[in-house]
């Protein structure tokens, strides 16, 4: 799967991932390969990116996530690296 994390200013992340956990408004949820299409609003919180055994995370300031055809797009209002 591919993941993009975008803010109004720049592209923060782009790459292949195994799974992504995002802070949904009604609780965090994980997106895996072949996930059903979804659009969800996001709260302030941690986006956890896993690629094999590697883990990386970003703190976002709210936003929206869209999952479609193994492409995950996180549109965040802001990101703290």
* pTM recorded for the entire structure: 0.94
Could you tell me how far CA 67 lies from the centroid of its own chain? 9
- Per the listing, tokens 């941690």 go with 46
Q: Distances from the Cα of 70 to the Cαs of 21, 34, 78, in angstroms?
A: 14, 6, 24
Residue 72: CB atoms within 10 A of its CB come to: 22
All structural domains of the chain with their residue ranges:
2-80
53's CB contacts (< 8 A; 6+ apart) are none
What CATH number does the domain located at 2-80 have? 2.60.15.10
Region for residue 77 given its phi and psi (left: phi exceeds 0; alpha: psi -120 to 50; beta: otherwise): alpha
- pLDDT at residue 2 in the model: 97
Residue-wise pLDDT for 22-53, tens only, equals 999 999 999 999 999 999 999 999 999 999 99
């Amino acid at each position: 799967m591919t993941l993009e994390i975008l803010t109004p200013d720049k592209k923060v992340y782009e790459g292949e991932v195994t799974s992504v956990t995002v802070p949904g408004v009604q609780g965090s949820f994980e997106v895996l390969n072949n996930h059903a299409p979804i659009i969800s609003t996001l709260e302030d919180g941690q986006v956890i990116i896993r690629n094999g055994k590697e883990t990386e995370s970003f703190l976002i300031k709210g936003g929206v996530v869209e999952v479609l055809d193994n492409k995950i797009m996180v549109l965040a209002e802001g990101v703290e690296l």
